């Protein structure tokens, strides 16, 4: 509970994903540009001059989020190495989407639906 991930979704657009017990909530971090400065916010009530300052604020208090931010999720910088595997092995590792039966739509992100196969 409280683990979070901030990802850039556009030039000045970000998404904040927060794990709250068994659910993941998604918040859009918006940006207002005022000439030479920018203001980032989840709600217009409180704004920040940078995304790290926004994160620091929500670490100390939830202030409208489902929980306060606690643990940043770290995305591995290295992708799994498959260069030494044969082309056939690489193709066998990938599951064809047509072979997966999706039963229930759980929700959606900015990019795609989130579904379960169980």
- What's the pLDDT tens digit per position in 75-112? 766 666 666 667 777 667 777 777 777 676 666 666 66
pLDDT the model gives residue 18? 93
Q: From the CB of residue 26, how many other CB atoms can be counted at a distance below 10 Å?
A: 14
DSSP string, 72-109: EPPPPSSPPP-TTS-HHHHHHHSPPGGG----EEEEE-
pLDDT the model gives residue 2? 83
* Residue closest to 12 by CA, chosen among 42, 39, 48, 52: 39
- What's the pLDDT tens digit per position in 40-89? 999 988 999 999 999 999 999 999 999 999 989 877 666 666 666 677 77
Hey, what domains does the chain have and what are their CATH numbers? 1-74+81-113 (3.30.505.10)
- In the DSSP assignment, the letter for residue 102 is -
The pTM score is 0.61
């Amino acid at each position: 509970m409280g683990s979070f991930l901030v990802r850039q979704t556009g030039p000045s657009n970000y998404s904040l994903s927060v794990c709250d017990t068994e659910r993941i909530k998604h918040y859009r971090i918006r940006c207002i540009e005022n000439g030479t400065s920018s203001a980032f916010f989840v709600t217009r009530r409180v704004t920040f001059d940078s995304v790290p300052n926004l994160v620091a604020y929500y670490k100390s208090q939830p202030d409208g989020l489902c929980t306060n931010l606690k643990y940043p999720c770290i995305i591995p910088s290295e992708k799994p190495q498959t260069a030494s595997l044969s082309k056939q092995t690489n193709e066998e590792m990938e599951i064809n989407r047509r072979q997966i039966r999706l039963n229930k739509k759980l929700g959606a992100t900015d990019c795609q639906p989130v579904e379960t196969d169980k």
